[in-house]
Amino acid sequence: MSLFDKNTILVVTTLLLLALFKNLSVDSSEGHQESDHDYVMAGSAVAKQMFACDFEIFGRVQGVFFRKHTADMAKRLEVRGWCMNTRDGTVKGHLEAPLIKLTEMKNWLQNNTIPNAKITKAEFSPIQEIKDYTSTSFEIKR
């Protein structure tokens, strides 16, 4: 048997096993009854932890709808806070969200592809845990 034949058999076997396990997990869940321990993470303190940080974005970020795109992305990620233009030509703001969403928003702010915008630097304050939101949504301050 050639090497190609052995690799083909390995791939087909793997796919068949994956299909088999997928069917087994679907069948085994049919008789599953929900219990309180199924939702431990959702009701835990970890799921409710909120974090916040401030940011300032430098570069060509005014007059290119940077704040609008930022607010749209924040709303998509369910991040609360605000952003505003500064007299220095930057955009400053405040973010509040669970850590994973806050991190996604920070990454987007640093690496977004807004037409005509050019980010030269993005600064963020240290992320701090907060007890609760201070904003009800994400808004553009004028």
User: How far apart are alpha carbons 59 and 77 in whole angstroms?
Assistant: 24
DSSP string, 60-123: E-SSSSHHHHHHHHHHHHT-EEEEEE-TTS-EEEEEEE-HHHHHHHHHHHHH---TT-EEEEEE
CA–CA distance, 123 with 95 (Å, rounded to integer): 13
Q: Among residues 7, 60, 76, 85, which one is catalytic?
A: 85
Out of 67, 76, 87, 107, pick the active-site residue.
67
Start-to-end CA distance of the chain, whole Å, equals 72
Q: Token pair for residue 100?
A: 């994973």
Q: Is 67 a catalytic residue?
A: yes
Active site residue 23: no
Active site members: 67, 85
